[in-house]
């Protein structure tokens, strides 16, 4: 049956390994590969040039997907994005306008805070869009536009494949919005669609890093704290990496924007503080290197997730390095998610915690 773990020890492992396949499903519904274009699933046409702002709200991992999407919508579509966690959004009394599209991201489509935010926006007469995994969920039913992510059932409490499928759909929407708003040329759209169409292959490559990542688990499991750093779209990923680690292994972990290190967390750095840096060799890489140097100078232990070029340019001895393939900018956040998922998975397995049912957590939180 579909609820079967197959040959895997845990649903989480199965769901991590399903990512090449489900990412393939997701993009095939949003991308016209031959034409090099984004096209929405039938009946959900939307013209992003008709709006002035996107207002996103979500919880947990889905919120981090939204945070990543903010960078994309603003960069590729010049569409301003306001995003908040659902439990705060509702109480902010933020000014909402006619030119806004309210977008909710939820794997289950049942999260109480997200649903309450949706209903709040509906009362204000806003158009409601939802990026959901469960198409028959309450959030999907109460939305005007539904953007399914096609990840298939996700059983493990910690979200993995739903996160990357949410990102795949959001990236597609951002590219579509970019074209509709006249910010991307046909050529640029084609190039981005081409990059996104390689997602399954890249995910397959990333999974091959598993034996190397598994070797980090004994080291990680001895730590009581961990700091994850990233800049640009790697920043939400640092937040997601920290969330996964704390959820699964109960190691206290924090994600920080790399540039914010000097404004606080640097005080925590000593030889007992592992610092996990998510940094593909992109436009902000050099700045992140200087943050790593600040960590190294204070004796912090660095585990760097980067590519060949990044490894060469690191200029500081990272204690551990996980080298990913070189990736187009728009796909990097999705693919870098995989080693982070595998790291928390293997750390949890090594420590013997309940991977699929971490203590005190629920798959779908239906209380506010
Ligand atoms: C719970 C789950 C998380 C999930 C969050 C939001 O906290 O444990 O994995 O990210 O809810 O859930 P949703 O179904 O709305 O995406």
- Catalytic position from the list 5, 223, 309, 363: 363
Closest ligand 1 atom number to CA of residue 158: 9
Pocket probe for ligand 1: among 58, 66, 89, 111, the residue whose CB has the most ligand atoms within 8 Å is 111
Give 29: exposed, middle or buried? Use CB within 10 Å, 0-12, 13-18, 19+.
Answer: middle
363 flagged as catalytic = yes
Residue 1 has a pLDDT of 44
Pocket probe for ligand 1: among 60, 66, 151, 341, the residue whose CB has the most ligand atoms within 8 Å is 60
Residue 2 has a pLDDT of 53
| d(C-alpha 47, C-alpha 297), whole Å | 50
CB atoms within 10 A of CB 263: 10
Three-class SS state of 55 = strand
| d(C-alpha 164, C-alpha 236), whole Å | 13
Taking only the tens place, the pLDDT of each residue in 108-143 is 999 999 999 999 999 999 999 999 999 999 999 999
The position carrying tokens 């046409």 is: 45
| d(C-alpha 29, C-alpha 92), whole Å | 35
Residue pair 145/128 in contact (Cβ under 8 Å)? The answer is yes
**Which of 255, 247, 252 minimizes the C-alpha distance to 355?**
247
Residue 368 has a pLDDT of 85
Give 215: exposed, middle or buried? Use CB within 10 Å, 0-12, 13-18, 19+.
Answer: exposed
Shortest-distance Cα residue to atom 5 of ligand 1:
60
Residue pair 237/324 in contact (Cβ under 8 Å)? The answer is no
Q: Give the pair of three-digit tokens for residue 191.
A: 């190039």
Please give the model's pTM, rounded to 2 decimal places. Answer: 0.97
Beta-strand ranges (E) seen in the chain are: 31-32, 37-38, 53-58, 81-85, 100-106, 127-132, 145-148, 225-230, 252-257, 274-278, 301-307, 320-324
Ligand 1 pocket, Cβ-based, cut-off 6 angstroms: 59-62, 106-108, 111, 114, 157-159, 361, 363-365
Instruction: Give the DSSP letter of residue 290.
Output: H
**Which of 306, 129, 132 minimizes the C-alpha distance to 209?**
306
| d(C-alpha 133, C-alpha 136), whole Å | 9
Instruction: Write out the chain's pLDDT in tens, 368 residues.
Output: 457 898 999 999 999 999 999 999 999 999 999 999 999 988 888 999 999 999 999 999 999 999 999 999 999 999 999 999 999 998 998 999 889 999 999 999 999 999 999 999 999 999 999 999 999 999 999 999 999 999 999 999 999 999 999 999 999 999 999 999 999 999 999 999 999 999 999 999 999 999 999 999 999 999 999 999 999 999 999 999 999 999 999 999 999 999 999 999 999 999 999 999 999 999 999 999 999 999 999 999 999 999 999 999 987 678 899 999 999 999 999 999 999 999 999 999 999 998 998 988 989 888 88
Q: Give the pair of three-digit tokens for residue 333.
A: 């956040």
CB atoms within 10 A of CB 249: 27
The position carrying tokens 């900018």 is: 329
Supply the DSSP string of 119-145, one letter for each residue: HHHHHTT-EEEEEES-TTSHHHHT-SE
């Amino acid at each position: 049956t579909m609820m079967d773990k197959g040959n895997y020890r845990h649903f989480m492992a199965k769901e991590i390994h399903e990512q090449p396949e489900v990412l393939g499903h997701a993009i095939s519904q949003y991308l016209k590969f031959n034409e090099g274009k984004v096209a929405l699933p039938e009946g959900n046409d939307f013209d992003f040039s008709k709006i002035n702002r996107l207002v996103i709200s979500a919880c947990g991992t889905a919120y981090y997907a939204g945070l990543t999407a903010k960078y994309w919508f603003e960069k590729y579509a010049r569409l301003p994005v306001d995003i908040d966690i659902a439990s705060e959004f509702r109480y902010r009394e933020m000014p909402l306008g006619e030119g806004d599209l309210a977008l909710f991201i939820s794997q289950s489509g049942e999260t109480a805070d997200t649903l309450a935010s949706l209903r709040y926006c509906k009362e204000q007469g806003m158009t409601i869009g939802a990026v959901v995994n469960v198409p028959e969920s309450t959030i999907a039913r109460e939305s005007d536009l539904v953007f399914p992510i096609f990840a298939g059932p996700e059983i493990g409490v910690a979200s993995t494949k739903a996160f990357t499928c949410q990102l795949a759909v959001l990236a597609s929407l951002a590219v579509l919005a970019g074209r509709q708003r006249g910010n991307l040329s046909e050529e640029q759209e084609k190039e981005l669609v081409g990059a996104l169409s390689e997602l399954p292959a890249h995910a397959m490559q990333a999974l091959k890093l598993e034996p190397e990542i598994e070797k980090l688990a004994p080291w990680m499991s001895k730590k009581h704290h961990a700091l994850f750093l990233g800049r640009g779209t790697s920043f939400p990923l640092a937040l997601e990496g920290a969330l996964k680690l704390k959820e699964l292994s109960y190691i206290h972990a924090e994600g920080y924007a790399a540039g914010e290190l000097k404004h606080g967390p640097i005080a925590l750095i000593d030889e007992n503080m592992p610092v996990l840096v998510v940094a593909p060799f992109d436009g902000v890489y050099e700045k992140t290197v200087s943050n790593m140097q600040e960590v190294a100078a204070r004796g912090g232990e660095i585990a760097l997730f980067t590519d060949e070029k990044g490894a060469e340019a690191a200029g500081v001895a990272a204690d551990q390095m996980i080298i990913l393939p070189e990736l187009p900018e728009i796909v990097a956040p999705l693919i870098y998610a995989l080693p982070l998922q595998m790291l928390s998975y293997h750390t949890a397995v090594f420590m013997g915690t309940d991977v699929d049912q971490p203590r005190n957590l629920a798959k779908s939180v239906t209380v506010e």
